[in-house]
Amino acid sequence: MTDDVAVLGAGMHPWGKGGRGFAEYGAVAARAALADAGLAWREVGSVVGAVTVRGGYPGYVAGATFARALGWQGARVASVYAACASGAQAVDTARAQILAGLADVVLVVGGDAAPKGFFRPAGGDRPDDPDWLRFRLLGATNPAYFGLYARRRMAVHGDTTEDFALVKVKNSALGAENPYARYRRAVGPEEVAASAVVADPLRLLDICATSDGGAALVLSSMEFARRHGVAQPVRIRAVSTVTPRYPRTVLDLPDIATDSAAAVAPADESFRESIARAAYEEAGVGPGELSLAEVYDLSTALELQWYEDLGLCARGEGAKLLREGATALGGRIPVNVSGGLASFGEAVPAQAIAQVCELTWQLRGQAGTRQVAGARVGITANQGLFGHGSSVIAVR
Amino acid sequence: MEGWFIGEEAGFRLLGTRCAACASVFFPREDTHCRNPGCPGGELAEVPLSPRGRVWSYTDSRYRPPSPYVSDPELPWDPCTLMAVELETERIVVLGQAVPGVAVADLAVGMEVEVVPGVLYEDTATTWLTWHWRPTEVTA
């Protein structure tokens, strides 16, 4: 177990298609997080930016871009990239700096301005790049991989497309209650079933959109939080940023093939399961102690997969857990009470930070009509392509 | 795709590499170092992969994929089926397009398929080849 760090502030820019730049979304979220923390920007000793690959050079140096937008004040700076897990790595970097005594207060920021439609690889002819190859050779978009996972669940576990649609129904009803969500309208199962198939068996409303958005956190040492007058802050107890172990036997983006298990027997534990286990071990809590979970529902089917990978139910029982209502607000273990990616769409570097913002509001009891009663322990989980685990456990 | 496959018609095979020290197989080919972290590192020799495997999962692309996928924007998009296929001997899952004309409704997880040469795209000078998966029942 590591020492805790305090979450003093959380802030977001509403998700959507705003037509503005990522720096603006991030800076708006940063100012909101600072206001929430009751701190001035000059009191921040370090800023960690989650990188976007869609903003040119300013995106690659996101930390400095946000520091400049807020006004240079001399803070230490870092910029990190780990695809969808970038936000968790930014939190991890900030935490390491705090625990190492390099900074008392660290601002973590992510923002993105995403194009409409499929994400695509960087330009140029790059046959050494698996992300380029999967598009060039196969036309395998992200939703194609989501479709493969969904079909595999149907074949192995007996999930149905109706089960998948119910995830969207649950998340859209919660997103309707979230002022930061992009889609704020409850969707019925018939509407999901009537939407166009994108990657069989998944339909448009099974798959998360690409969005603009920004999210930020102000983290500090526990000692600073006390001096600042916050006796019982939300605390980050674990950040899991693990990588897979050879041989990796589940096909993952952007790879064309898995590792071969011919020479080395694979572990029984999948990569996604190991992401959660590392977080649980570091936090000293188990799935039975969770009040809520925010998981990366890139597709409806993937949310069911996360139930199992987080240990909320046994393998193959994700759809049953959903149908029992256990993961709805008021259920045993509510999942994605923010509305999830189904309601937000994905703003890549901001998304894992936004998950922690939701935990923060929930653990403080500030989530309004989305509030999980008596929330004490929350987990986030996601996975960045090219082998990035991401899970944060926060407590209060 | 130089070095990714070899042969014609019934002799067509995907090409990977195999580590002489630990027998791990790699596709796409790994020519520098064995990626098994428990292996001291052996010579990586080219090896043809099993021509047949079983469907691990499948899906399709109902919308035109973006560049660098090459397709004729003048023509309407024809949905393309994708299959992830598990090769028993190599214990590896390899993604590929299905042969044209095979739709998701024709497939099931666990179905046997075989690798066949296919056309990725054609330009004025060259026909670029690739691999496709074809259900073995089709040829029976």
CATH number at residue A79: 3.40.47.10
- In a shared domain, residues A88 and A56: yes
Same domain, A144 and A262: yes
Please give the tally of structural domains in chain B.
Answer: 2
B42 shares a domain with B56:
no
A123 is a domain residue: no
A153 and A84 share a domain? no
The pLDDT, as a whole number, for residue A9 is: 98
Q: Given B27, B57, B68, which is nearest A257 (Cβ)? A: B27
Q: Are A89 and A50 in contact (CB under 8 A)?
A: yes
Q: Which residues of B touch A158 (CB under 8 A)?
A: none
Tell me, what's the pLDDT at A124?
85
pLDDT at B138: 59
pLDDT category of residue B140 using cuts at 50, 70 and 90: very low
CB contact under 8 A, B58 and A148: yes
Residue A309 falls inside a structural domain: yes
- Same domain? For B104 and B135 the reply is yes
A7, β-bridge pairs: A219, A234
Whether residues A80 and A160 share a domain: the answer is: no
- Tell me, what amino acid is at A10? A
On whether any CB of chain B is under 8 Å from the CB of A258, the answer is yes
Beta pairing, strands A5-16 & A377-384: unpaired
Query: Taking CB atoms and an 8 Å limit, are A138 and B104 in contact across chains?
Result: no
Same domain, yes or no, for A22 and A37?
yes
Q: Are residues A241 and A190 located together in one domain of the fold?
A: yes
Mean pLDDT, residues B14-35 taken together: 97
Asked if B108 is an interface residue toward chain A (Cβ–Cβ < 8 A), one would say yes
Residues B41, B95 share a domain: no
B40 and B82 inside one domain: no
Say yes or no: A148 and A268 in one domain. Answer: yes
Tens of each residue's pLDDT in chain A, 396 residues? 689 999 999 999 999 998 999 999 999 999 999 999 999 999 999 999 999 999 999 999 999 999 999 999 999 999 999 999 999 999 999 999 999 999 999 999 999 999 888 888 888 888 889 999 999 999 999 999 999 999 999 999 999 999 999 999 999 999 999 999 999 999 999 999 999 999 999 999 999 999 999 999 999 999 999 999 999 999 999 999 999 999 999 999 999 999 999 999 999 999 999 999 999 999 999 999 999 999 999 999 999 999 999 999 999 999 999 999 999 999 999 999 999 999 999 999 999 999 999 999 999 999 999 999 999 999 999 999 999 999 999 999
d(CA A102, CA A88): 19
What's the pLDDT score for residue A128? 87
SS3 label, residue A358: helix
Same domain as A347, residue A335 = yes
Q: Quick check: A82 and A385 in contact, CB under 8 A?
A: no
One domain for residues A48 and A153 = no
pLDDT of residue A23: 98
**Pair (B61, B38) in one structural domain:** no
Q: Does B107 lie in the same domain as B39?
A: no
A124 in any annotated domain? no
| CA dist., res. A312 & res. A307, Å (int) | 5
Residue A331, exposed/middle/buried by CB under 10 A (0-12, 13-18, 19+)? Answer: middle
Co-location of A176 and A283 in the same domain:
yes
Beta carbons of B31 and B17 less than 8 angstroms apart: yes
- Distance of alpha carbon A355 from alpha carbon A12, whole angstroms: 11
- Whether A76 and A63 have beta carbons less than 8 Å apart is answered as no
Same domain flag for B121 and B72: yes
Task: Please give the structure tokens belonging to residue A300.
Answer: 């409806």
The partner residues of B57 in beta bridges, in order of sequence, read B84
Residues A324 and A309 in one domain: yes
What's the domain range around B29?
1-49
Please state the pTM of the whole predicted model.
0.96
Q: How many residues does chain B have?
A: 140
**Does B98 lie in the same domain as B134?**
yes
For residue A95, is it left (φ>0), alpha (ψ between -120 and 50) or beta?
alpha
Query: What does the pLDDT look like over A11-30, one tens digit per residue?
Result: 999 999 989 999 999 999 99
How many beta carbons lie within 10 A of that of residue A328, not counting itself?
Answer: 20
- For A29, A218, A222, B59, the CA distances from A103, given in Å and listed in that order, are 21, 12, 12, 48
For residue range A74-124, list pLDDT tens digits in order: 999 999 999 999 999 999 999 999 999 999 999 999 999 998 888 888 888
A353 vs A51: CA distance, rounded Å: 12
pLDDT for B86: 98
In a domain, A122, yes or no: no
Which residue did the predictor score with more confidence, A50 or B72? Answer: A50
What is the rounded CA–CA span in Å between residue A62 and residue A60?
6
Is A343 domain-assigned? yes
Mutation test of the interface with chain B: which of A207, A248, A260, A302, choosing the one with the most B Cβ atoms within 10 A?
A: A260
Cα–Cα distance measured from residue A14 to residue A26, given in angstroms and rounded to the nearest whole number: 11
A136:B69 CB<8 A: yes
Let me know whether A61 and A175 are in one domain.
no
Whether A60 is covered by a domain: the verdict is yes
Range of the domain at A55: 5-116+212-235
The nearest CA of chain B is from the CA of A268 a distance in Å of 15
Q: Tally the domains of chain A.
A: 2
